[in-house]
Amino acid sequence: MKVDGNNGAICVPATPGKNAIEVRGVRKVFGTGEAQVAALDTVSVSIRENEFFTLLGPSGCGKTTLLRLIAGFDFPSDGEIMLYGEDIAPLPPFKRPVNTVFQSYALFPHMTVAQNIGFGLEMLGKPRAEIDARVAEMLKLVRMEKLAKRRTSQISGGQQQRVALARALAPQPKVLLLDEPLSALDYKLRKEMQIELKRLQHETGITFIFVTHDQEEALTMSDRIAVMSSGKILQVGSPRDIYDRPAERFVADFIGETNFLDARIDSIEEGRAKVTLKSGATISATLPDGFKPDGEATVVIRPEHAKAVKDGGDISGVVENVVYFGTDTHVHIRLDDGETFTVRQQNARGAGTSFERGQRVGIVIGDDAAQILKD
């Protein structure tokens, strides 16, 4: 049986353009012998020019390690990294046209805000007049003109964040690496800076590689996301792809809330499959790229892609709990086969469909709602 991979789950049609960074079969092993840890286990990924690319994954999955390899602070144990088609292995970090916004900001405490921002240009040997002009421009870009003469210890966390950004952008790198730059900020400031970052990326046209463990941040900001787990990249795609078409259980689980249902595959055609759920209901589901069918499969359905109804539906169960969230309501349902299923319904004033505990309900699964997992 030929499986057609043209479902867009992994191979997103490329926005035409060059690859800024190509990571080819990179492994990174720390330690020796028994204590060996593979921080990166054969990672390959291409990052396009001018794109806002996000590495998303839980703490310890190897995101920082990958950035450090690109920046040149560490060297791959295996594989190669190309910058605009050229292997950067022989370049020390101070010769790579790549700048980093460090998680800790790493601002120089013995310099002023302006001196910090001008440091990279100064090291590149630019003339004083050019440095001053560029620093002024950067200060304006991050709205810090008034604090140029301050020491970095005399400004707030959000302001330090801006200085770190301006400092990394000032030398006009080809690629900007951002290692969880917003994780130290409080919620409101973080939201502001998310918008600010998008604006900066748009205005400068620099390729951003952004690291986060916050799925919401990744979904709202990125052009494309690579989901990482235990040193591997599991899936690369646009936020929509990642959210709607997760290829693996980890991806589906890590991003948003998900219902997992066991199913049997009846037939496959054109990248879609007819599957029979445990309840006996038959639905249509999208297949992931590179799927090797063996009869059994797990189907994922996002809570908002299903609908609870009073009668009928594809599957049925009993309402266990109803949680009101203002904009929407989560209905937790115990299916007849014992599994749990959550449905998220948008709230509207006057809409009569409310559910109560213990009530029998049916669940309608939308036509394009179900996705089959690779594993």
Partner 1 sequence: MATAAEIEKQAEAREVRNRWFLSAPALIIILLAASGPLLIVLLYSFLTPGPYGDVVWKFSTEGWVSVFLERDIFDDTLSFAGAHLTIFWRSLKLAIMATVATLIFGFPTAYFIATRPERTRDIWLFLITIPFWTNLLIRTFAVLQVIRNEGIINTALINLGIIDQPIQMLYTDFAIMVGMVYVYLPLMVLPLYASMEKLDFRLVEAGYDLYATRWQVLKRIIFPMVRPGVIAGSILVFIPAIGAYVTPSVLGGGKNMMFANLIELQFGQGRNWPLGAALSITVMAIVMVALLVYVRNTSGSEARHG
Residues that bind partner 1 (CB under 8 A): 71-73, 92-95, 98-100, 102, 104, 106-111, 119-120, 123-124, 151, 153, 167-168, 171
Tokens of 105: 């900001």
Residues 108 and 53: beta-carbon distance below 8 Å: no
Q: Using CB distances below 5 to 8 A depending on partner kind, what does residue 124 bind out of ligand ADP, Mg ion, partner 1, none?
A: partner 1
Neighbours of 253 (CB within 10 A): 14
CB of 375 to partner 1, least distance (A): 37
- Tell me, what DSSP letter sits at residue 151? B
Q: Using CB distances below 5 to 8 A depending on partner kind, what does residue 37 bind out of ligand ADP, Mg ion, partner 1, none?
A: ligand ADP
- 115: helix, strand or coil: helix
Neighbours of 254 (CB within 10 A): 22
Nearer to partner 1, 126 or 278 (CB): 126
Residues 141 and 169: beta-carbon distance below 8 Å: yes
Size of the site for ligand ADP (CB under 6 A): 12
- 337: helix, strand or coil: coil
Tokens of 230: 């235990």
Tokens of 46: 């291409």
Q: Using CB distances below 5 to 8 A depending on partner kind, what does residue 94 bind out of partner 1, ligand ADP, Mg ion, none?
A: partner 1
Segment 33-92, which members bind ligand ADP (CB under 6 A)? 37, 39, 57, 59-65
Angle of helix 113-123 relative to helix 157-169, nearest 10 degrees?
Answer: 20
x-or-dash pattern for Mg ion, window 24-63, by CB under 5 A? ----------------------------------------
CB of 67 to ligand ADP, least distance (A): 8
CB of 101 to partner 1, least distance (A): 10
When asked if residue 178 is in the footprint of ligand ADP (CB under 6 A), the reply is no
Put the strands of the sheet holding 328-335 in their side by side order: 306-309, 360-365, 315-324, 328-335, 340-346
Q: Provide the binding-site residues for ligand ADP, judged by CB under 6 A.
A: 30-31, 37, 39, 57, 59-65
